[in-house]
Every structure is written in C-alpha cells, then in structure tokens.
Chain A
Amino acid sequence: MSINLTINNKVITAPDGATILEAAQAAGIEIPTLCHHPDLTDVGACRMCVVSVEGARALQTACTTPAGEGMVVNTMSDAAVASRKFTLEMLLTDHPNECMTCEVAGDCELQDLVYDYQVPWPDHNGKRHQWELDPDPNPFIFIDRNKCIVCGRCIRACNEIQNRDIWSFAYRGFETKLVAGADQLMLDAGCESCGACVAYCPVGALQDKMSLGLGRVNQVEKVRTTCSFCGVGCNFDLNVRNDKITKVTSAQDAPVNGMALCVKGRYGYDFVHHPDRLTRPMVRAKWLDPATVAERVKNGEWAVFTEAQQRRASLTHQRASGNGHSASDHRSPAIPQSAILPDTFVQTDWDTALDTVAGKFTQVKKDYGGDAFAVLASAKCTNEENYIFNKFTRQMLATHSIDHCARL
C-alpha cells in the first residue's frame, strides 16, 4: 500500500504509515530535525521539523505526523521558517556561546541549524542555567547540562537501544534536568557505560571524557574497523590524530551492532598507546655471543632490559606494588646495569632476534623433528595472520601441534 501527497509542489509516493519526514527524506527533501534520530522513536519535542499542511490549523511536526493521501505540505513556508528561527533563538537564550572551544563544534546539529537559519546570538539577559560542569565522577561520560537542549535522544537511546533506562528528565519547566536514575550518579543508577547516550546526543551535553581536547571532528581521520575484545564483531570508527587514537565513534551502518557498543569497545582503546608496550625485540643473553653482547651494549646498539624495567612493565608487579602486597622495585636487590647474566634480557636488533630463533628452530628440527615444537596461535590476531601461523607450523615446523585459547 502506498499513498500520494504533495511536498513543496512535488508529487510524492510514500509507503502507507510513513511520516511526513520519512516521505520527504525518501524524496530527497530536507526537513531540519534535532530530537529525531532514525534509530529512535519520534516524540516531536524540539519543534524544528514543523511544516505547513494545507487545511491544518497549526504547523505540524513532520516527524510524528503521518503522511496522508492527498496531503499538501510546504516545508519552507514563511510560518515554518519563522517558527524554526524562533525555536533556535529560544534554545540559544539558554545555551553557552562557547562554539570556539566546544568539543563538538563541527559535529553539532544545533550549530549547523543556527548557521543554516542564520539566527543571530540573542540579545537576552534573562535566566541562564549554570549547571556544574562534569558533575559525575564516572571515567567515561562528561556531562555539560548547560548545553542540553532537552531533546531526550539520550533517554530514548538508553531505553530503546541499550535498554537500561538510566536517563530521564526530572523537575519541570525551566528547572527540567536530565538525570540518571533518581537524580543519582550514573554508576549508582545502574549505568554500564556503553556510551550510547553520548553517541546519540546532537549537541555537546554528553561527551566522551577520555577524548576531551584531543581533536574535533574536522581534525581527526576516521578509520572503520572491527573491535578487538569479544566475539560479537562490532564495527566502529577509530578517530585518529597525529598517529594517536583520540576516540571511538559508533557508526550507524555497522553491520552487526549499528550505533550500539559496550564499555570496552567504546572506552577500552587506550591500551594501544600504553607506555608498557614492547617496542624492541629481546633475547636472553645465554642465546647470544657474550663478546658481541658486551660490545653492542657498550656502544649503545643493544640495551639491557633490566629487572626493574621488567617489573615496571609487568602487570603482576605493578598491581602487587600498587596494592602493597609484596616486594616492589625499591625493596629488591639492585642489579647493576652492567651485569649481564645468562638470563638477562638484551634488547637487540630484529635481525639478531630473528636469526636466533630461526637458528634454534632449525637445529631442533634437525635433531628432534616436528614433534619437538608446539605453537600457540592467537584469537587476538587476524584471519590472515592465523593462516600464516598455521602454514608456518605445519609446513616449516612439520607438526600439527598448533592451538590457541579457544577452550579457555
């Protein structure tokens, strides 16, 4: 079933049950929105999408009004445009004039509409909210209620996408406040920090705390990839600036997950740049020629990876010293930098490390055959890498003893 209607003097066919907004969008006619998002139920709250409908007594919200047979719609009538300008001006009367420093400048639906409709900054000395910035101590979500336009997209995202119902509006009129739970801290209200509310916020009221100041949308490159934590296969965009990940943003066209992500996928990326990352190959001194080690360490080509460095880089020791359970660095006997024992890790060049392993593997294969080898492949690595591991194990090491943590 379909219906015919006229929008801006153009005859349009729309499926039965479509809203005016959907009918217009399908025909390539733009109607401005703020509280609307295609993933969410429409509530007609922001009044941006108002249009003139012939025969109707007042402007209609295109996002909630069903398109009717024979309906005649004007999306750019004087009344509609004036209404939108007034709505935007009213929003600005209680919005900080901070676009110069705002995190989401360039990625803000309000900013775009104010620009599109050329709304001047209102000459208004009335009441403005002075909410506390970042009032919630959770590590992920920054709240700036001063920028909230009360569209309720975060509330619907939490209710309809994440199904946690953390957010709602409390109090009335000018005092209307976006609150978690019964005006509690987010975590106390049961928030699991998926960040969907941030992803759906059209302005800067909810922002990613870890990304503040690291780059606006026009300063980053977005790279679509697949998450590296669980097996759901969520896709998202890594935002990159100066060879560093600044943020994860969700993507509506992600095949498995759409805009939904979890706390690990959205906020667990910083391990990539952690200072503990291993950056040089290492070989224990006993597998190297002692004279070469002494010489290259002395001339700075190679370096000793000291016990203290090992402890600093090791979670067990970091955590143990942090918790005060056992020996921390300063209590261990100091090992002089120059002492190179057989078990000392030496940071070498790649050629040395690779030749050491290739030589040892070749020797063991000749002496003992393939049964002397076992390989643990990785559920963290890509398909292509795992194929290579599988080929190396079977073809080069002559064994089928390859496994990974599939069972663990």
Chain B
Amino acid sequence: MTNSIQDIAEESQCIFIIGSNTTENHPVIGTKIRRAKRHRGAKLIVADPRRIDIADYADLHLRHKPGTDIALLNGLMHVILRENWQDDDFIRERTENFEDVKAIVEKYTPEVASEITGVPAEDIVLAATMMAENRPGALLYAMGITQHTTGVANVMSCANLQMMLGNIGVPGSGVNPLRGQNNVQGACDMGGLPNVFPGYQRVTDPAAREKFEKAWGVGLPDYMGLTVTEMMDAAEAGDVRCLYIIGENPMTSEPNLNHTRHSLQKTEFIVLQELFFSETAQFADVIFPAAAFAEKEGSFTNTERRAQRVRKAVNPPGEARLDHEIVIQLAKRMLALGATALDPEAPYADWEYRSIIDVEEEINALTPIYAGVTWERMEAGEALHWPVLGPDHPGTPILHVSKFSRGLGRFAAVDHVPPDELPDDDYPLMLTTGRVIYHWHAGEMTHRAAGLEAMYPEALVEIHPRDAARAGIDADGMMKVASRRGEIIAKAQITDRVEPGLIFTTFHFAESAANFLTNPALDPVAKIPEYKVCAVKVEKA
C-alpha cells in the first residue's frame, strides 16, 4: 500500500475498491471502511463482478464483467478528462507520459466502456463524478486486479487513475494493494522472489550482486531465477531436480493442479517443511515438521509495509522445530560436506547465529529499507512502515509524498485486452475464484480450526438461479464443474451474488479445489496466473 490503513480510514473522502472482496479477505480493513462510510460520511464505490458484502454498503456498485478492469478504468478516466477534472498541477509537476494515456482513453467513452464492461454508462459517469468531487480518494485493490493475464496493465491503469486525480502522496489517497497472506509482504521484502535480493535489490544489477557476494562470501548467478509457475514447468522437464518447499501447498494453490501433480511426480527429490501432512506431502521425499506462528519469535510485515513482532507463546509439538533453525542446520551440514566454498573474511558468510536477533542485524545491515527496523524498536512496540532508512528514521507511512521513488510518476497507456479464455459453445460459463471469510487459502489451518470448519464445512459454488435452472441444478444439490483442464464436484449455492453466466468458487477445499479448473495462462511480466477468469460448463451431479 502507498498509504496506511489508518489514514485511509480516517481521511479518505472517497474509497474506491476494485477487485477486492475486502470484508471476507481483509475483514478488519472492511470494518474500518464500513466505519468510514457510515460514521464519517466517506463515499464508497465498489467495482466487482459479484455482489460482495462491501458492495451492500457502497454508494455505487459497478458490476463489471471479470477481465474488463482496464476498460472500466479507462472509461472513468475518459469522463474525468472530458469534464476537465484532472489535477493539472500534479500531472505537470509530478508525472510524465500523460499524453499517451490521454490519447488512449479518448476512445473509451462511457458508452464504449459500458459495452465492454456491462456497467451502465451513467454509472461510469456517476463514479467519475464522485471521485472528482471527493478528494483525496484512495483506491484499494487485491487479487481481482492482479490475477489476470493483464495483471500488470491493470495495476498500471489503477495508478493512472490516481495520478490523474492527484490522489498520491497525501493522507487518504494512494494506490493500495491489499496483500493476502500475513507475511506475503515480508517474504517479498526479504528476497523470497527470483529477481531480487532483500529490499528489492535486483539480482541482475551488478552492484547489488557484488554487495551480496561480498557479504555472503560467495559468487552468485547473474541471471534471474524461476517463478513458482516456471518451477513447475522446469520440474516437469527434469531441469529442476530438487524442490525445497517451506510452508506452501502447491497441490492446492497452483493453477491447473493436474499439471502440478505431474510436475511433482517427476521431481527427483522434494523436501517439504510443514505443519501438516498436506496434499503436497504425498509427493515429498523428506518432511520436516515445522513450527506455527505461536511458537516463534520474529516479525511479520503487513500490507501497509509495517513490521510487527511475532512472539512465542507455546512450544512446538513433539520434535517440531523452528523453520529457520532447520535451514541453518542444513546449511551447516552442507558446508561440512564441501557443498560451497565461502570466503571466511566475508561478514555474513557463516551460519553461526546465536539468536534471531543476529538475523535481524544482518537484515538491517544488508536491506536499506529495513535498516532501521531493529529488534529493539520492534520490541519497544514501534510498528514502523518501511522504508526505515536508519535507527532514528521514523518510517514512511505514506509513499511518494513529494516525489515518486523513480522521480516522476510514469503514466502507462494500456488498452483493454480480453482474458485468455472466454466462454464459448463448449464451455459456456465463466468461472471466477476467491476466498471466503471462514477459510484461509489452501485451508491447512482453517479446516483444522473447529469453529471455522463448522461455519463453512464444504466447498460451495455460487451460481445464478437462471444458470442453475438451465442445468437442472437444485438448491444445495451437488453439481459438476468442468473446464478444459479438469473437473470438480461441489454443492450449488444458488444466489444472485453472481450474475447470469458467471459462477464462483474457492480453492479452500482440496477435494474440489477451483485450481483443477483454472487457466494457467500467465501475465507476461508478473507471471501471475489468470485465476479470475476461465471458461467452464456445469451439470447436475
């Protein structure tokens, strides 16, 4: 998020949610948005194909078809420019490339945008008016924007809108992705990505590479690694021989699970570090029992870039061990076997950590944005937003205040491109996927939380009454959903939360996971799969 949850909740005059089922996936942010709307009178606009809970609180619900976000956003920008509501000072002083966007949104009249998105033209005008009249405004998005073959372009389009309105760098504004997992932000920040070292220092940047080579006392590859989806392909091809999976469950979270299964079967040696015997465990060669959050000392970084302490409350069960201790043990044993020759003079070459605080100090030393996220400050209760450039730096709740990280904010003209797979005669319905409030991701934790499981014990497929009637599917009856890649059987939930032609289900339930159906087509840049759109057919089961 460019902004903090608090400044959006307390100061935003118009909150625009697009592609985020906020109530169910970020419930406490949903709570704060409802409060801003009801008790402070902030405007709330929700763009989502489904009538999600937060839409019931909105001044306006734009129910666009999945995969038409750019057309909708370009339509909004068309109206803003037509009415001369753009922030000319901001555009002139803070941005570049505006003319390109101006040229491309020219053709997205409300009528054209309406034709593509299915949103009434007058609602597009109304939404643009509301945004223009109520500034600062914050844009919030989640996987509904990113899990598309046009994911990167969708995000750019969101940024275009906010820059055009001057909604950047002030309280209550910004482009705010809501991150899904408790520490997905921190995992990215700490180099859990194939293209960057900790703190987003690029592996292809010779200076960054040299810095880490000197710190760790070893030569490093000068090319990017594989993304998770590419790993599965490389494993299937036999190029990746060893897969080390820590606290992940690709056998429910990957797209096209039948392909994932094949890849895992082909992998020579799989090491899994887990809490439970997950779906992925069946494919493992070695399983290390790991510790849960309540058994650990450390920190998580939340969606607003804020690092906070995690504290040990109980001991791990049996012989389960802390995740980093397992890895440190492996490193030491590999060194003893001569796997790697390290320069003993390098300051952070060795694996002799006395405690987690030593790890923190290594992070502080090598990761400029975490330089001031010290153990002492976290322990004292400071919940700092990175970048925190030094021990006395106050942190950065709002990004891009007087200038963008890259200097000028770059407008990027993007055009509507349809999803990779659209309904046709053979697969006439569209499937979109997501989560529900009672479960979390692949469900290894929440299915084992008795109350949550009681609340939502089985997979449901939301289907419109018209489509259910056509397929002869009864309320609460079982239905089969098939795509070109696989099929699942699950219970029908007949509801107008979805429009005719669209069905929705989750990937929480391994036995009927949406990802047997989903399309592994990727965004060419971010390599994110198009979980939000694929073509399916349904029948009574």
Q: Which residues of chain A come closer than 8 Å to B190, judged between CB atoms?
A: 383, 386-387, 389-390
In the complex, the answer to whether A365 meets B339 with C-beta atoms within 8 Å is: yes
Q: Which residues of chain B come closer than 8 Å to A384, judged between CB atoms?
A: 298-299, 324, 356, 359-360, 363
Q: Which residues of chain A come closer than 8 Å to B310, judged between CB atoms?
A: 225-226, 228, 382
A282 to B360, CA, bound (A): 30
Q: Which residues of chain A come closer than 8 Å to B447, judged between CB atoms?
A: 315, 319
B303 within 8 A of A: yes
A401 to B342, CA, bound (A): 20
Q: Which residues of chain B come closer than 8 Å to A125, judged between CB atoms?
A: none
In the complex, the answer to whether B294 meets A408 with C-beta atoms within 8 Å is: no
In the complex, the answer to whether A406 meets B187 with C-beta atoms within 8 Å is: yes
Interface residues of B in 415-459 (CB under 8 A from A): 437-438, 440-441, 443-452, 454-455, 458
Q: Which residues of chain A come closer than 8 Å to B35, judged between CB atoms?
A: 160-161, 163
Q: Which residues of chain B come closer than 8 Å to A371, judged between CB atoms?
A: 239-240
User: Known contacts being A231-B180, A373-B244, A377-B246, is A277 close to B27, with CB within 8 Å?
Assistant: no
Q: Which residues of chain B come closer than 8 Å to A97, judged between CB atoms?
A: none
Shortest distance in angstroms between B476's beta carbon and chain A's nearest beta carbon? 14
In the complex, the answer to whether B451 meets A383 with C-beta atoms within 8 Å is: no
Q: Which residues of chain B come closer than 8 Å to A262, judged between CB atoms?
A: 27-28, 31, 437
User: Known contacts being A245-B314, A408-B254, is A374 close to B443, with CB within 8 Å?
Assistant: no
In the complex, the answer to whether A405 meets B184 with C-beta atoms within 8 Å is: yes
In the complex, the answer to whether A353 meets B189 with C-beta atoms within 8 Å is: no
Q: Which residues of chain B come closer than 8 Å to A407, judged between CB atoms?
A: 146-147, 227-229, 526-529
Q: Which residues of chain B come closer than 8 Å to A162, judged between CB atoms?
A: 31, 34
| B244, B330, B331 pick with most chain A CB within 10 angstroms | B244
A365 to B240, CA, bound (A): 11
In the complex, the answer to whether B319 meets A280 with C-beta atoms within 8 Å is: yes
Contact for A395 among B216, B318, B336, B449, CB less than 8 A: B216
A121 within 8 A of B: no
In the complex, the answer to whether A388 meets B529 with C-beta atoms within 8 Å is: no
Write out, one digit per residue, whether chain B residues 350-362 have a CB within 8 A of any chain A CB (1) or not (0): 0000001001101
Q: How many residue pairs, one in A and one in B, have C-beta atoms under 8 Å apart?
A: 507
A192 within 8 A of B: yes
User: Known contacts being A268-B445, A310-B277, is A396 close to B339, with CB within 8 Å?
Assistant: yes
In the complex, the answer to whether B314 meets A240 with C-beta atoms within 8 Å is: yes
In the complex, the answer to whether B317 meets A279 with C-beta atoms within 8 Å is: yes
B275 within 8 A of A: yes
Q: Which residues of chain A come closer than 8 Å to B90, judged between CB atoms?
A: none
User: Known contacts being A359-B337, A381-B183, A403-B225, is A376 close to B275, with CB within 8 Å?
Assistant: no
Task: Give the dominant DSSP class at B's interface.
Answer: mixed
A223 to B39, CA, bound (A): 33
Q: Which residues of chain A come closer than 8 Å to B189, judged between CB atoms?
A: 383
Write out, one digit per residue, whether chain B residues 159-200 have a CB within 8 A of any chain A CB (1) or not (0): 000000000000000000011111111111111111101100
Shortest distance in angstroms between B14's beta carbon and chain A's nearest beta carbon? 18
Write out, one digit per residue, whether chain A residues 179-214 have a CB within 8 A of any chain B CB (1) or not (0): 000000000000011100000000000000110000
Q: Which residues of chain B come closer than 8 Å to A270, judged between CB atoms?
A: 448-451
Shortest distance in angstroms between A190's beta carbon and chain B's nearest beta carbon? 10
Interface residues on A, range: 35 or more
- With CB as the reference atom, state the residue of chain A lying closest to B190: A386
Q: Which residues of chain A come closer than 8 Å to B195, judged between CB atoms?
A: 400
B278 within 8 A of A: yes
| B192, B299, B451 pick with most chain A CB within 10 angstroms | B192
A233 to B302, CA, bound (A): 5
In the complex, the answer to whether A376 meets B182 with C-beta atoms within 8 Å is: no
Interface residues of A in 17-34 (CB under 8 A from B): none
In the complex, the answer to whether B29 meets A379 with C-beta atoms within 8 Å is: no
Contact for B184 among A354, A368, A404, CB less than 8 A: A404
User: Known contacts being A139-B454, A225-B309, A264-B446, is A383 close to B186, with CB within 8 Å?
Assistant: yes
A408 to B234, CA, bound (A): 18
Q: Which residues of chain A come closer than 8 Å to B306, judged between CB atoms?
A: 233, 255-256
User: Known contacts being A160-B39, A163-B34, is A230 close to B340, with CB within 8 Å?
Assistant: no
Shortest distance in angstroms between B26's beta carbon and chain A's nearest beta carbon? 5
A133 within 8 A of B: no
List the one stretch of B97-105, B282-290, B532-540 in contact with chain A: B282-290
A263 to B440, CA, bound (A): 11
Q: Which residues of chain B come closer than 8 Å to A281, judged between CB atoms?
A: 286-289, 319
B261 within 8 A of A: no
The 13 listed contacts between A and B (C-beta, < 8 Å) are A192-B437, A226-B309, A256-B304, A263-B437, A283-B285, A315-B447, A319-B509, A374-B243, A376-B245, A388-B323, A400-B224, A403-B193, A405-B253
Pick the 5 closest A-B CB pairs, nearest first. A279-B318, A233-B302, A382-B298, A378-B247, A400-B225
